[in-house]
């Protein structure tokens, strides 16, 4: 008798069923914000725990292996003196029965940083090596409208000689050269080529703009060009392996000294690491002592000489009085 009849509903339950189950958007945003805050707090807690946890100490790399077979990643990469490294490359060639006239290369890793956030811009340069290692001759184009200068340029080996008529062909890639030189009289007419030639546009800073056509042609026909790749690396060949060791060393030092001129001497040296290799050998890390120019020592000597002169002046004055 006390049991409810089938189909009866309690009053309170009837009211709850009568109200539709709709949640407002403000409530949803509130719950979402609270969940996001809790998630961020948990993430920060995990990060703090990771920071507080001491990092595992890595064993310092050992200097020199004892056995002939060893794990390279456990030891520091050995560095060699320049003369020793060249001798090793020659020995590798004999043991591997590779071609004796293969090229010798260097990989120069640069420190381009200057003060604050400034850095040295990637550059390219050309140098005359003391010992040529190839018979290749660069193709040089000479801009001049003077017939006598044009004839002089042809006599000294210019590949192409001409005036403003060459601009159209160069812009359309019909004419290309390794280097472009010009006389001062024609340079105002070559402005349309500035964006096309970029670093090869004739300029006095690169010694490609001047009146001495034979001298410019001799330099650019035989010079060795290199450039910075990937913003901080120079990869270039410097010699052939069958050349005398002293010739290879002289060519290497010539290129390194030219590279060092692109960063002021009051900063850290621009050359950070130097690796030498042949076409078929592994790379050998070089010891930079004796390779980089000794600019700092020269400055110290000049300062010392200036101090000595200042100390000698009072003595001379006392003698004269």
Q: How confident is the model at residue 31 (pLDDT cuts 50, 70, 90)?
A: low
Distances (CA, A) of 178 to 141, 199, 208, 224: 8, 11, 12, 11
Domain with CATH 3.30.190.20 in the chain: 81-122+231-293
Return the pLDDT at 309: 47
pLDDT reported for residue 159:
96
Segment 291-314, tens digit of pLDDT: 998 754 444 444 445 444 444 444
pLDDT of 35 reads 72
For residue 320, is pLDDT > 70? no
99-103 long-range contacts, CB within 8 A, separation 24+:
99/279, 99/280, 100/241, 100/242, 101/240, 101/241, 101/242, 102/240, 102/241, 102/278, 102/279, 102/280, 103/133, 103/237, 103/239, 103/240, 103/241, 103/278, 103/279
pLDDT at 28: 60
pLDDT at 215: 96
Lowest mean pLDDT among 34-38, 126-130, 224-228, 259-263: 34-38
Instruction: Give the Cα separation of 208 and 216 in Å (integer).
Output: 7
Three-state SS at 301: helix
Domain 81-122+231-293 has CATH 1.10.940.10: no
Whether pLDDT at 12 is above 70: no
Better-predicted residue by pLDDT, 17 or 203: 203
Q: What are phi and psi of 107, to 5 degrees?
A: -115, 115
pLDDT at 106: 98
What residue spans in the chain does CATH classification 3.40.50.790 cover?
132-224
Tell me the percentage of the chain whose pLDDT exceeds 90.
Answer: 63
Question: Is the CATH number of domain 132-224 3.30.450.260?
Answer: no
Mean residue pLDDT of the chain comes to: 83
Residue 230: beta bridge partners? Answer: none
Lowest mean pLDDT among 3-12, 86-95, 249-258, 295-304: 295-304
Determine contact, residues 128/298, Cβ cutoff 8 Å: no
What average pLDDT score do residues 41-51 get? 67
């Amino acid at each position: 008798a006390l049991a409810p009849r089938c189909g009866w509903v309690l009053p309170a339950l009837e009211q709850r069923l009568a109200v539709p189950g709709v949640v407002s958007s403000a409530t949803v945003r509130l719950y979402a914000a609270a969940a996001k805050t809790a998630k961020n707090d948990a993430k920060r807690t995990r990060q703090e725990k990771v920071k507080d946890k001491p990092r595992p100490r890595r064993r310092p790399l050992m200097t020199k292996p004892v056995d002939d077979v060893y794990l390279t990643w456990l030891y520091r990469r050995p560095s060699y003196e320049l003369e020793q490294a060249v001798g090793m490359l020659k020995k590798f060639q004999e043991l591997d029965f590779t071609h004796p006239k293969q090229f010798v290369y260097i990989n120069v890793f640069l420190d381009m940083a200057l003060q604050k956030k400034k850095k040295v811009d990637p550059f390219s340069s050309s140098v005359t090596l003391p010992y040529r290692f190839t018979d290749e001759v660069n193709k040089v184009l000479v801009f001049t409208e003077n017939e006598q200068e044009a004839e002089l340029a042809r006599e000294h080996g210019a590949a192409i000689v001409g005036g403003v008529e060459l601009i159209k062909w160069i812009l359309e890639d019909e004419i290309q050269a390794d280097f472009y030189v010009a006389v001062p009289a024609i340079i105002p007419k070559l402005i349309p080529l500035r964006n096309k030639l970029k670093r090869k546009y004739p300029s006095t800073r690169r010694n490609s703009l001047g009146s001495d056509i034979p001298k410019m042609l001799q330099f650019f026909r035989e010079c060795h060009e290199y450039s910075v790749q990937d913003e901080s690396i120079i990869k270039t060949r410097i010699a052939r392996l069958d050349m005398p060791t002293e010739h290879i060393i002289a060519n290497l030092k010539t290129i390194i000294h030219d590279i060092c001129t692109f960063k002021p001497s009051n900063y850290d040296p621009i050359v950070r690491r130097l690796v030498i290799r042949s076409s078929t050998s592994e790379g050998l890390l070089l010891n930079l002592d004796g390779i980089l120019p000794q600019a700092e020592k020269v400055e110290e000597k000049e300062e010392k000489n200036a101090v000595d002169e200042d100390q000698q002046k009072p003595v001379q004055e006392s003698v004269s009085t």
